[in-house]
Structure 1
Amino acid sequence: MHLTVLARFVSSTGAEAAFFIGLWGKAAYEFDGTPTDLAIMSAIIGVAAMIGSVGGGALVDRFDARRVVIGAEVVFVPATLALILASDLPRLLALGTVVWLAGAVLETAITSLPPALVDDAGLDSANARLESANWLALVAGPALGGLMFPLVGFSGIFVFDAVTSLVALLLVLGINLPDRDAARAPADTLATGGPLDPVTDARPGPLADVLDGMRLAMTKPAIRLVLFLAALPSLAFGMFIALEPLFFRDVVGAPVETLGYVNAIFGVGLFAGSMWLERRDRQFTTFRNGVLVVMASGLGSVLYVATGDLRVVLIGAITWSIPLGIALPLSRTLAQRAAGPTHVGRVTGLIGTVSSGASLLPIVVAPVLAATLGIQRVLLAAGLLATVLAPLAWRAAAREDRVSAAAAPRSAPEGSTTEPTG
């Protein structure tokens, strides 16, 4: 599993540097992008992420996660280098769309690897470690990009992204997966029951794969619950994407570089949350704990914007990011267990699609709401939304936990880590 974790950290470090310094920086500073331009860019990113996530999930289940990671990296490298050629904002957006599509496929594929690499008992720890690598890259990538930019400019940042992707590709080539024909969904996984049995209900074609994954998600309460819990933090995130810079400018009265410092602290909190989960045993990974951490993240975001005092903002960044760092890998583990090995990619991709879609919705209404109610009130409401709505899922979460507890004694973990240890 360590090669997968390292590959994600290396690849994500370059991607975060290219996104925050390269793409956003080039759009805003070199091409003098307006708020409307950046909103359009955010919308394109969100749509590309939705399409790439659901498509990547279908590819994972049709081929395997390792092959899809390799293919996505092969596409990603020339696509990110092509950004050097963008001479205006429309060309940057057009070329960037390919990057964001490939990146979403890559994200879905690499986060679908743990169920193929470890047994069920190790899935909690594997997903937490994989997410910790991503959060650490969220801190390291922009920091390295900021240090490199005065020396190499925008072009050098995109080259750095391509190099890190090539390194990640070499690492993934060292991963061995078990024979796909030998993989069988355990008898108690949700994907094997009823009319959605992957053998008796198999249909040809990639679109059929996507539709089958959606049908599975809509008919299995456990997966629907995970999608609901994944959407709530994303709704708040979408509002913050649109309004957070204005909050720091108009409410906190802080200079622009403060955003970078606070987001670095936020990334550290996300990393700490995932690492905390990695050290817990499987008993913590329950649907009810999923509800609780989503509620806690909502309360943390409320504290984040509750005052204009920067000290309170910093405390809020920690109390928001730590439970959020727990929530994502926890939800992914619950969904992957519910999906079974035959539908892991499609269900993992749906989580990405739902999260991206949920973050897009607030971008549309944020300017109007902020003009009517004020920036701080809108952000407070966004945080409260998760806090208020998450408890509505408590009874469903308790029911799914009882189902899982009843099935656990009959589901002995099978398999072992198949990744080389050297």
Structure 2
Amino acid sequence: MSNAPRLGRAPLWRDRSFGTYWIAQSLSAAGDAFAYLAVPLLVLQATGSVAQMGLLTAVAGAASVAAGVFGGVLVDRYDRRTLMIVADLVRLVLYGLVPLVWLAGPRVWLLFVVLPICEAAGMLFQVAAVTAVRNLVDADRITEANGRLQATFAATAVLGPLLAGVVSARFGPATAIAVNAASFALSAAGLRLVRLRAARPADAPEVPRGSPLVEFLAGARFLWRQPVLRALTVLLSVFVFLVYGFTDVLIYHVTHDLGGSEGTVGTVLGLAALGTVAGALLVAPLRRRRGFGTTWIGAHAVCGFAVAGVGAATTVPAVTALTAVYLCCLSIGGICSMSLRQEITPDHLLGRVTSAFWSTHYALGPAGAAILTWTAGRYGVPAVALVAGAGCLLVAVGGLFTPIRRAGAEPAADPRGLGPTPAVGTTGG
């Protein structure tokens, strides 16, 4: 499958359906950027404990993983746009409860109820959103589309934490969460205007259905039988264990060790998000020139050095710069991995393969977040960041001994979902 763009086509930004989808996703991402900062600050403000922040991240992450198990089955069975709208409305209602209840005083227990449900709805939304890209653009433009989407998400992530820091400092983190809730209403309204292409041709045979577990296992089977996807799943499971609680540790480092305020945290996360913008814009040309394997391995190696550097940094500007490097490389590696799955997976399996991948590689994340934040509070951020960074570097080195290293243009997917079949003019992964 060639990644070279076809000549004579209009640029993606002129595609009306993709543009509408792009705007709706950006609105949702803008609100998420508020919650990204506001929820940890709300817990830290009420309890003063980084371990409580990590515990909430762990519980919410576990709910997300559980939802991912069957999210792909729903996405492959039902209309993807409708599922995204429902997920937006659920988060609108639940996040909207937080600032209302907080008027009577801090209720941390409410976050342990609301956040897991919202994370589960968010996982369903993300599985549907990833698969919807396949129904919006041609196969050879998937990496470009993902790059543009992620670049815009990152751009909102620049302003989001900055504004969330200002709002949190002036009106409190609960108000910032109210802004997040409102963003889901705008996202749902925008998605109603999107029209997706048919998932399969009208004359294609109906795909047989089984029980939800059997259908999920079909996606997991495809994921495990594809050598590159299998290696990615295993290595990324370790990587997520190491960095799932990184944001909590970063916020704790800036506020506790460096004496920063809530506004300082917002500035750090906002400016560092420029790294995500850079990564999203760089990923397509990097992959074309260097290939999948080199790009993915190199990105995760640099992530390791950046994570270790954040812990060693003693000034806010240094933390900001290193976090930007980390987010840049995280963006490059993530978009590469996501685009590869979209390119080589049959459409009727795409939701299940996506959810099987995310459920598996996020499974260790909640435990990792709890351990990372607990050890940071007990032994200090520098030591924990050094160990986590070294682990990330080992993940990249591990990629050198798997099919990831040789991955270039991947085999095309067998339309029956039985596995990859050689495509004309491509080299095997």
> TM bucket by the smaller chain?
0.7 to 0.9
Question: How do residues 19-34 of structure 1 correspond to structure 2 at under 5 angstroms?
Answer: 19-21=36-38, 23-29=39-45, 31-32=46-47, 34=49
1:118 CA displacement: 0.9
Q: Tell me which of 67, 70, 75 is aligned to 2:90.
A: 75
2:113 paired residue among 94, 97, 105:
94
Alpha-carbon contact 1:247-1:376 (below 8 Å) kept: no
1:321-353 per-residue CA deviation (whole Å, 9 max, x = no partner) reads 222221111110012223221222222223433
Q: Superposed, which structure 2 residues align to 1:325-340 within 5 Å?
A: 325-340=331-346
Partner of 1:138: 157
Kept after mapping to 1: 8 A contact 2:61/2:116 = no
Give, as a single letter, the amino acid of the residue that structure 1 aligns with 2:383.
Answer: R
The worse-fitting range, judged by mean Cα deviation, of 262-271 and 114-123 is: 262-271
Task: Give 1:243 shift.
Answer: 3.4
Q: Report the counterpart of residue 267 of structure 1 in structure 2.
A: 273
Counterpart in the other structure of 1:206: 212
Equivalent residue for 2:27? 10
Aligned-residue CA RMSD in angstroms?
Answer: 3.2
- Amino acid in structure 1 at the alignment position of 2:274: V
Matched position secondary structure for 1:117: coil
CA contact (8 A) 1:230 1:355 kept: yes
Greater alpha carbon shift after TM alignment, 369-378 vs 381-390: 369-378
How big is each residue's C-alpha offset from its partner over 1:161-212, in whole Å with a ceiling of 9 and x where there is no partner? 2332122112211221122341799xxxxxxxxxxx994xx44233332222
Q: Which residue of 1 aligns with 2:368?
A: 362
8 A contact 1:233–1:386 mirrored in 2: yes
CA distance in 1, matches of 2:32, 2:155: 12
Counterpart code for 2:92: V
- Identity over aligned pairs, percent: 21
Secondary structure at 2:210's aligned position in 1? coil
Name the structure with the higher helix share: 1
CA–CA distance in 2 between the matches of 1:147 and 1:402?
Answer: 45
- Give the C-alpha shift of residue 14 in structure 1: 1.4
> How do 1:10-409 residues align onto structure 2 when only pairs under 5 Å count?
10-21=27-38, 23-29=39-45, 31-32=46-47, 34-86=49-101, 88-149=107-168, 156-182=175-201, 199=207, 202-241=208-247, 243-248=249-254, 253-257=258-262, 258-278=264-284, 282=288, 284=290, 286-366=292-372, 369-370=375-376, 374-394=380-400, 395-401=402-408, 404=411, 407-409=422-424
Letter in 2 for 1:317: T
TM norm structure 1: 0.82
Give the superposition deviation at 1:223: 1.7
Following superposition, the deviation at residue 268 of structure 1 comes to 0.9
Q: Secondary structure at the match of 1:174?
A: coil
C-alpha distance in 1, partners of 2:206/2:382?
48
**Following the alignment from structure 2 to structure 1, what is the Cα–Cα distance between the partners of residues 410 and 351?**
23
Cα offset, 1:78, TM superposition: 1.7
TM-score when scaled to structure 2?
Answer: 0.80
Give the distance between the partners of 2:321 and 2:169, measured in 1 at CA: 32
> Aligned-pair distance for 1:101?
1.5
Amino acid at match of 1:108: V
For the Cα contact (< 8 Å) 2:165–2:266, is it kept in 1? no
Please give the alpha-carbon distance, in whole angstroms, between the structure 1 residues aligned to 2:376 and 2:47. Answer: 24
Determine if contact 2:55/2:369 at 8 Å carries over to the other structure: no
> Aligned partners of 1:172, 1:126: CA distance in 2, in Å?
17
Q: Kindly provide the amino acid, as one letter, of the partner of residue 114 in structure 1.
A: V
1:69 is displaced (CA, Å) by: 0.9
Figure out how many residues of one structure are paired with residues of the other and give that number: 395
1:311 & 1:143 partners in 2: Cα distance?
Answer: 15
Question: Aligned equivalents of 2:225 and 2:99: distance in 1?
Answer: 45
User: What is the distance in 1 between the residues matched to 2:351 and 2:184?
Assistant: 21
Partner of 1:112, secondary structure, is helix
Q: Note closer, same or farther for the CA distance 1:303–1:368 as it changes in structure 2 (3 Å cut).
A: closer
Look up the SS of the partner of 2:185 in the other structure: helix
1-side partners of 2:24 and 2:186: how far apart? 8
**What is the SS of the residue equivalent to 1:264?**
helix
TM superposition shift of 1:363: 2.8
Give distance in 2, aligned partners of 1:343 and 1:291: 27
Distance 1:297 1:368, change over 3 A: closer
Determine the C-alpha separation between the residues in 2 that align with 1:41 and 1:250.
Answer: 19
The answer (yes or no) to whether the contact 1:49–1:352 under 8 Å persists in 2 is: no
Give unpaired runs (5+ residues) of structure 1: 186-196, 412-422
- Distance apart, 1:314 and its partner CA: 3.8
SS of aligned partner of 1:401: coil
TM-fit CA distance, 1:271: 1.2
In structure 1, C-alpha distance between the alignment counterparts of 2:92 and 2:29, rounded to whole Å? 13
Query: What is the Cα deviation at residue 79 of structure 1?
Result: 2.0
Name 1:414's counterpart in structure 2: none
Q: 1:56 to 1:218 in 2, by over 3 A?
A: same
2: CA distance between counterparts of 1:324 and 1:162?
Answer: 27
Q: Residue type matched to 1:360 in 2?
A: P
- Distance change (3 Å), C-alpha of 1:40 and 1:403: closer
Q: 1:267 to 1:229 in 2, by over 3 A?
A: farther
Compute the displacement of 1:374 (Å): 4.9
- The whole-number CA distance in structure 1 between the counterparts of 2:168 and 2:254 is 24
Partner-residue secondary structure (3-state), 1:102:
helix
The residue matched to 1:361 in structure 2 has which SS? helix
| 3-state DSSP of counterpart to 1:308 | coil
Structure 1 residues 261 and 63, CA gap change in structure 2 (3 angstroms):
same
SS at 1:409 equivalent: coil
